[in-house]
Each structure stands twice: as C-alpha cells, then as structure tokens.
C-alpha cells in the first residue's frame, strides 16, 4: 500500500488545495497531510493563518481523499516526517520545485502544477477589499 505525504498550511481552504490533495491521493492508496503549525506559518510567511491550526487540521481531515493528518512544526523535520509516516511519495506544489529533491533517496518526489489564478493570499486580499 503506497503512502503519499504532502505538506501545507491549508489556510482559507480553496479549490486549489482540494485539487492538489486529490492529485496527491491518486498517487497511492493512503494520503497523509502535514498541516503547518501556526508558529511555522508565522515564521515562513510573516503572518498568522486566518484559521487556527486546530481548525485547519479538522478541515483537512474531513476531506474524503485524506486518510491522516498531523501537525508540521518544523521545516527541518521533513525527513523525519517522511520516515515516520512511511512515505513512498512526497507530493508538493510546483512553487517548491527542486526544494525537496534531497528526499528522493527515501521516496519519490513529485511536484504538481498549481491551480492557475488561485491563491490564499489573493483570496484574503479580495475579502479585505
């Protein structure tokens, strides 16, 4: 049974998130999702997520294509997360292309094209206006 692992903040869940999760799930029989903690998101993006980590974990877990979720607390622990969850495939958006190739020694690394013209930042800005 092939396990696919992906990571993301998944704040203001939108169609782009769903599409990437469904494509990741299609690569195996089990999809595990690491949801970035609030602290990690602040350190990466300089802002707190709109929805708390508990809410984002619950939202992602409720999707039928997702089998398991966990809290990603550090970018430096990616190798640990991949090993701990028995990942056969790491699937990420192509905005990360090349950044995770170092893990190809323990799993297959796949980058998906992102959904054009859809981004959490753009959605947040639209709501603010």
Tens of pLDDT, residue by residue over 19-37, are 999 999 999 999 999 999 9
Domains and CATH numbers, the chain: 3-128 (3.40.50.620)
What are residue 31's DSSP bridge partners? Answer: 4
pLDDT < 70 stretches in the chain = 115-129
* Alpha carbon distance 107, 69 (integer Å): 19
Cα–Cα distances in angstroms (integers) from residue 3 to residues 27, 39, 61, in the given order: 8, 27, 16
* Alpha carbon distance 63, 57 (integer Å): 10
What DSSP state is assigned to residue 119? Answer: -
Q: What pLDDT, on the 0 to 100 scale, is given for residue 123?
A: 54
Q: What pLDDT, on the 0 to 100 scale, is given for residue 42?
A: 93
Q: What pLDDT, on the 0 to 100 scale, is given for residue 35?
A: 98
* Alpha carbon distance 120, 98 (integer Å): 22
Q: What pLDDT, on the 0 to 100 scale, is given for residue 114?
A: 76
Is the pTM higher than 0.85?
yes
Pair 57, 71: CB distance under 8 Å: yes
């Amino acid at each position: 049974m092939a396990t696919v692992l992906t990571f993301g903040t998944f704040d203001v869940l939108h169609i782009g998130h769903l599409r990437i999760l469904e494509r990741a799930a299609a690569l195996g029989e089990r999809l595990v999702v690491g949801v970035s903690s609030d602290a990690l998101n602040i350190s990466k993006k300089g802002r707190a997520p709109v929805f708390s980590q508990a809410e984002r974990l619950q939202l992602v877990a409720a999707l039928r294509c997702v089998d398991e979720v966990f809290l990603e607390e550090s970018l430096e622990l990616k190798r640990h997360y991949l090993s701990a969850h028995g990942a056969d495939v790491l699937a990420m958006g192509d905005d990360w292309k090349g950044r995770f190739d170092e893990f190809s020694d323990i799993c297959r690394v796949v980058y998906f094209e992102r959904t054009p013209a859809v981004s959490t930042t753009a959605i947040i800005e639209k709501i603010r206006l």
